[in-house]
Homo-oligomer: A and B are copies of this chain.
Amino acid sequence: MAQTSAIKYELLHVEKHTGARLGKITTPHGEVMTPMFMPVGTQASVKNISPRELKEIHSQFILANTYHLWLRPGDDLIAQAGGLHKFMDWDGPILTDSGGFQVWSLSDHNQISEEGVTFRNHLDGRKMFLSPEVAMRIQNNLGSDIMMQLDEAIPYFESYDYVKNSVERTTRWAERALKAHKRPDDQALFGIVQGAGFKDLRKASADSLVALDLPGYAVGGLSVGESKPEMNRVLDFTVPWLPEDKPRYLMGVAAPDSLVDGVIRGIDMFDCVLPTRIGRNGTLMTKHGRIVITNAKYKNDFSPIDPDLDDYASTHFTKAYLHHLIKANELLGQNLASLHNLRYLLKLMEDMRQAIAEDRLLDFRAELMENYGYNKPNARLF
Q: Which residues of A contact B (CB under 8 A)?
A: 43-52, 68, 72-73, 77, 80-82, 87-89, 299-300, 302, 312, 316-318, 320-321, 323-325, 327-328, 330-336
Contact = CB atoms under 8 A, between A and B. Distances in A.
Contacts of A47: 330-332
B50 A312 contact: yes
B332 A300 contact: no
A324 B52 contact: no
A236 to B, nearest CB: 39
A336 B51 CA distance: 12
A45 B336 CA distance: 12
Contacts of A317: 89
B45 A320 contact: no
A72 B328 contact: yes
A179 to B, nearest CB: 31
A73 B330 CA distance: 12
B89 A316 contact: yes
12 contacts: A43-B324, A43-B328, A43-B330, A44-B324, A44-B330, A47-B332, A73-B323, A73-B328, A77-B320, A80-B300, A81-B300, A87-B320
Task: State the oligomeric state as a number of copies.
Answer: 2
Given A52-B312, A335-B50, A335-B335, A302 B72 contact: no
Given A324-B73, A325-B45, A334 B332 contact: no
Given A49-B332, A51-B316, A89-B317, 17 more contacts: A43-B325, A43-B328, A44-B321, A44-B325, A45-B330, A45-B333, A46-B332, A47-B332, A48-B332, A50-B332, A52-B312, A72-B327, A73-B299, A73-B320, A77-B299, A80-B300, A335-B335
